Structure 1
Amino acid sequence: MSSNNKRCSSGISPTTQIQSPGSSKQGSTLPRSKTCGFTNTTSLKSKSERLQPLVTNKNSQLNNEILLDDIDKLPPAMVNELCLHARGLVTIPNLSQFSKLQMLDLSCNNLIRIENLRNLSNLRELKLYGNKIERIENLECLNQLQILQLQYNEIQSIGSGLVYLTRLQSLRIDSNKLSVIRSDEVLKLAQLKTLDISDCSIENVEFINTLSSITELRACHCYLKTLPNQFRNLRYLIDLDLSNNELINITPLKSLSSLRVLHLANNHIQDIQILSSLVHLNELDLNNNQINLIPNTFDKLIDLQYLNLSNNRINSWDDINVIRCMNSLFILNVDGNPFLSQVENSVEKLLEYCPSLEIINDVSLQNDDSTTIQSTSNEQLINIDNELREVDQSLEKSIAEVQAQFDMILSDLQKLNTLNNDSKQDKELMVKNSTESNVSNKKSKYRLFQALTFGEENYQNSDQGINNG
């Protein structure tokens, strides 16, 4: 296995993913709250972790492990995603038949050049990380591309390689040999939201002025000594990581009113007064700097939930007095500061200062109250059990009453049914008797009629006999 493949810790095999035409990807979010905790930032992850392939849409109708020789056997019109991760590729195979392709993963191979992508005009996501690519080239036909991953290559400059990617939203070019990024090289990336240039020998980020739509910027482990005034134009920036640099003055950050997450660990920062203007901050990491106090103006940071000031130079408890007013704070790390040695139980005193704290110096306070919590939980369970028993008894009583009422109603229905049957029989009998009576009357009338008729005939016959005599 090549050195590039060793850096890629993922064992994902090459796959194809075929989707229905109507399927679409949903962007993931990274929530930071009390319920889910804070996410690890790029600066805290190892290189192997950062090489993990991003998860793509799993709602595919077919997911087959393929060999390179089998590519031609795939139905091109149905293939939306193709993964050739860690296949030892030296060149990109001819994929021109896959004109419907939207995601292509060529990560962790031995590729030197970007080529054979000319007909993939529908491509939305391209993964080329963990190769040996030296230049960004031959991407001019990918004008629908939204995600491009080029981290862990040997790229020395961007050049004109990104000029045609006007719809690009996410660019990872970290861990390369970049030393300079010019404004004209990224000028066309007007829709770019996420940019990672970490682990590069970049000394300034003045190009950032051209990326006014950016929401997430990672530039940790660079050689940044100053920040340009152009930062004030990044009004949509939400997540900023400038850790592991050589920063002293952070004044240009004061206008980033939308910022939620700020990482400035491992710099040379002393004055953090200007951060008081970032009133929407949720997460602030200032670990391992040269800070000697928390400004009283930090009481404006009413949304701050996570504050890391470990390994700084805070000498007095009075210098952190402002945390008494920070009611949203629930994670605080001030470990490695001189003032903690002034009291025997620093955790208890910090909790007195800020009762909302749940984690202090990476120690969860819930562990100290485990006995009380367990006792409270048992008592609550007993109360719930008693209440359930009362409910069961009440239900049994109610069910018995309902059953008795049901039996009474059933009995009444049976009686009504019997009465209805008797009434019906009486009615039928009356109808029968009436019918019989009518028949009898008709017969009597007929007999009377016959008798009368017979009598009249006899009377006429007798009169005729007298006359003849």
Structure 2
Amino acid sequence: MAVQDIDQPQEMDLTGYHLHDLTDVVIPDDTKVLELMTNRLREIDERILSLTGLQRLSLRQNLLTDARQLSDSSFKASLHSLVLHDNQLTQIPLLAGYTALETLELSYNSISSLQPLTSLQSMNLEELYVANNAVQQIEAVQHLTNLRLLELGSNKIRQIQGLEPLQQLQELWLGQNRITQMSGLDQLTSLRRLSLQSNRLASMAGFEHCIHLEELYLSHNGISKLEGLERVVNLRVLDVSNNRVTEVEGLESLQCLRDLWLNDNQLPTLDSMEAPARAGALGSTLTCLYINGNPATAQDAENVKSRMLAAFPKLEQLDDSMVCH
């Protein structure tokens, strides 16, 4: 029996049917949204390519090894969202003519280069996801000046480069790469979220011009000193867990900070953790604090809770435990 959409002719959701092909599927010519997630498709049906008004195409979790067919589609001028997440692609398809594209999702493939993105001329693109691939350098995105979100986590990138024109960028995700320096961020003054977790950073220096940052994630690096925080006065979340920090300093200007992750560092005493409160910082704002895994918490475990609550009376969570006042 043919698999057909029974709700709205313009929207087809064939998620999870485990289809190997679409031979028995009726695809209406006026389809606007086509969801084909979690199937077994190895190629894109020619009837899909002929749809002139398609706005969203999701082929997430299939078995595509090649998406070059998309270069000759009939929906170039209408497609807003293209999802090719979790396939077996080794190359980004050429997307010349896709002028309406707003979201492009290419994560969890085997893509090694961003170079084919030079063909994409959509000034509407706001979100680009290429996480969990084998990308070696940031390239071919300079012309995508309306990007709001760029996700390149879990790749093989060693250097932050080529992002200067992306002055509308609000979220930059670069966790689990091979980056040694936080450089190339000077022009990204609109950034709200920055993630460089699990890289090879020895210093926090480099984000000082990102003055609108609200969330900064730097866990699992080799950072020994907190620095560069004086101008990011809107920061709400700071994660420097699993580093080599020995002193809590430079937080005086963070009057909006709510979440502070300092666990698994090298803070020697509880005095060092109370330093922000003594400097008049965080006492009225901090609601979540992670400090376990430091020498200080091991040495004076029985006093950790009482002293932290005295220093930061607004705490609602201390490590893994909710705080009852």
Bigger Rg over Cα: 1
Contact 1:17/1:80 (<8 A) preserved: no
Residue of structure 2 in register with 1:303 after alignment = 256
Residue of structure 2 in register with 1:114 after alignment = 67
Residue of structure 2 in register with 1:96 after alignment = 49
2:293 maps to 1:336: yes
- Tell me the CA shift for residue 97 of structure 1: 3.4
| SS of the residue 2:172 aligns to | strand
User: AA paired with 2:234?
Assistant: H
**Alpha-carbon deviations, 1:353-386, whole Å to 9, x = none?**
11111111121112xx6xxxxxxxxxxxxxxxxx
Q: How does 1:51-66 map to 2 (within 5 A)?
A: none
| SS of the residue 1:298 aligns to | coil
Residue of structure 2 in register with 1:198 after alignment = 153
Q: What is the root-mean-square deviation of aligned Cα atoms in Å?
A: 2.2
TM superposition score normalised by structure 2: 0.88
- Tell me the CA shift for residue 305 of structure 1: 0.2
Q: Distance in 1 between matches of 2:36 and 2:13?
A: 13
- Tell me the CA shift for residue 209 of structure 1: 1.7
Contact 1:92/1:115 (<8 A) preserved: no
| SS of the residue 1:336 aligns to | coil
Percent pairwise identity: 25
2:116 maps to 1:163: no
Q: Distance in 1 between matches of 2:161 and 2:6?
A: 41
Distance 1:277-1:17 versus aligned 2 partners, 3 A rule:
farther
Residue of structure 1 in register with 2:79 after alignment = 123
Contact 2:14/2:37 (<8 A) preserved: no
User: AA paired with 1:350?
Assistant: M
| SS of the residue 1:251 aligns to | coil
- Tell me the CA shift for residue 148 of structure 1: 0.7
Distance 1:212-1:257 versus aligned 2 partners, 3 A rule:
same
Residue of structure 2 in register with 1:291 after alignment = 245
**Alpha-carbon deviations, 1:237-270, whole Å to 9, x = none?**
0001100011012211112110000000000111
- Tell me the CA shift for residue 272 of structure 1: 1.0
| SS of the residue 1:318 aligns to | helix
- Tell me the CA shift for residue 18 of structure 1: 4.1
- Tell me the CA shift for residue 343 of structure 1: 5.8
Q: How does 1:1-400 map to 2 (within 5 A)?
A: 18=8, 68-71=22-25, 73-77=26-30, 79-94=31-46, 95-117=48-70, 118-121=73-76, 122-166=78-122, 167-182=124-139, 185-228=140-183, 230-295=184-249, 297-320=250-273, 321-324=275-278, 325=280, 326=282, 327-340=284-297, 341-342=299-300, 344-366=302-324
Which protein has greater RCO, CA pairs closer than 8 Å, 6+ apart? 2
Distance 1:215-1:17 versus aligned 2 partners, 3 A rule:
farther
Contact 1:258/1:280 (<8 A) preserved: yes
User: AA paired with 1:180?
Assistant: Q
**Alpha-carbon deviations, 1:388-439, whole Å to 9, x = none?**
xxxxxxxxxxxxxxxxxxxxxxxxxxxxxxxxxxxxxxxxxxxxxxxxxxxx
Contact 2:94/2:120 (<8 A) preserved: no
User: AA paired with 1:76?
Assistant: D
Residue of structure 2 in register with 1:437 after alignment = none
TM superposition score normalised by structure 1: 0.62
Contact 1:315/1:339 (<8 A) preserved: yes
Contact 1:14/1:83 (<8 A) preserved: no
Contact 1:14/1:85 (<8 A) preserved: no
| SS of the residue 1:262 aligns to | strand
Segments of 5+ residues of structure 1 without an aligned counterpart are 1-12, 21-59, 370-469
- Tell me the CA shift for residue 273 of structure 1: 2.5
**Alpha-carbon deviations, 1:4-62, whole Å to 9, x = none?**
xxxxxxxxx99797488xxxxxxxxxxxxxxxxxxxxxxxxxxxxxxxxxxxxxxx6x7
User: What count of residue pairs does the alignment treat as equivalent?
Assistant: 309
Q: Distance in 2 between matches of 1:17 and 1:172?
A: 30
Q: Distance in 2 between matches of 1:277 and 1:161?
A: 34
